[in-house]
Structure 1
């Protein structure tokens, strides 16, 4: 896959980008970065790669003009302090990267920042703000536990018009900070502690940063939100093996491609 830079749509607000990554993501991360610069129709001020202190990821950041951020500087704890596992699965790292994203408002400087998973590549143009409204890309299924945790955190039912778990999302820094303050006020705890204590750790998928943030925004003002179908395709092949012709063909049906290397993700209907 190669990148041809298309520029941005006039009038679109500038954004930062935050990508949590670990070494296994190096197979896709260069393509993710290129796809952002090609298909995001906003001026991108800075791309932050949040990662363990890894020389290969640092070298990639240098080559691609991205800012490397040591993940241990973003939160007052690290992955080893999270104990979220069973005899069959370990979701501690998965939860840690969600909390890193939730603290992106303290790292990014633009009013808006895009979070994208390090294994997901855009293959069509994307806008995330239009006429003063936020655009959320959605799908039709989620994990019921996400909504149970939302109720525990905020004391209200998530409106959940669609599922917002689609591998990338635009956050508004002020709104994200407001959400975290609301969680802290309700629980009398730091927002991350409230989240960790609200999760049913016997369940494998107990929290979603995307469901939590987007449902909060939607509940505040549904008319200020535009919902679009995500049209994401998961592939078992590698990003490097896709030809330009294959990508062009896929782009007629899909907006993005994901190259997941995870196991045990059970698809469950939205409540």
Structure 2
């Protein structure tokens, strides 16, 4: 069931897509890519897969018509340079992936690029620009540390009444670049250094790239964005186990499905 067969049409500005991934994501990544081509209602120019060096991911990129990007070429440091862990958990790779996304304006060629997690599959048509506005998909719960870090970075409270942490987001290059310049001007250091310094590294959910970017855009001009419910469903099964019939049934209620288990996400976004 494609976007066209769903009664919608591809239009609006062309976009690129950026997907950070590692080898464990190969179980879901092909489904994510197929869903983008079926359900994103914009012309997709390029799909970039940002990954550690991996022959398996390179082969999948070749097979699926995607562009492989070695993650070590994106930032002036690597995951090994990040120290964000405790005796019970290690969030260094998680944070590194978010910083990779925030430098997507140096990877993608189009003015707009969609970032999506490598374990999230769209099951209904999505439009990310409508009537000259950016569509942000939202939910009602988040982590309080995301908003504390936002305040440290920006000097003001995050203004949105919703959470923007919904596994995919459209970025506008000019606004992303402006956000990073704002952070650098306020902190007198590179934007990524300011983010790492602002995180309480005793807490394991210390920063959200989606929460930060979307709240920055929202704070600049609320009338420039449209907020829609994400309606994402997390599944414990594998992507290959969800057939067409089950996807169609899920699509009656949900816009996307994610193949992961998240713990500790139970705090409402109001802050």
Q: TM-score, normalised by structure 2?
A: 0.96
Q: Equivalents in 1 of 2:86, 2:178: separation in Å? A: 33
Mapped pair 1:228 → 2:228: yes
Q: Equivalents in 2 of 1:162, 1:267: separation in Å? A: 14
Q: Deviations over 1:35-73 (max 9, x none)?
A: 000000000000000000001000000000000000000
Query: Residue in 1 aligned with 2:149?
Result: 149
- 1:1-271 aligned at under 5 Å gives the runs 4=2, 6=4, 9=9, 11-260=11-260, 264-270=263-269, 271=271
- Assess if the C-alpha contact under 8 Å between 2:10 and 2:43 holds in 1: no
Task: Report the RMSD for the aligned CA atoms in angstroms.
Answer: 1.3
Q: Equivalents in 1 of 2:51, 2:264: separation in Å? A: 23
**Residue segments in structure 2 that go unaligned for 5+ positions in a row:** none
How many angstroms does 1:263 deviate by? 5.8
Instruction: Give the secondary structure class of the aligned counterpart of 2:141.
Output: coil
| Compared CA separation, residues 266 and 10, structure 1 to 2 (3 A) | closer
Q: Deviations over 1:85-110 (max 9, x none)?
A: 01111100000000000000011010
**Residue segments in structure 1 that go unaligned for 5+ positions in a row:** none
Q: Equivalents in 2 of 1:9, 1:97: separation in Å? A: 32
- Assess if the C-alpha contact under 8 Å between 2:3 and 2:40 holds in 1: no
Q: Equivalents in 1 of 2:163, 2:262: separation in Å? A: 21
How many pairs are equivalent? 268
Q: Deviations over 1:83-135 (max 9, x none)?
A: 00011111000000000000000110100000000000000000000011000
How many angstroms does 1:161 deviate by? 1.8
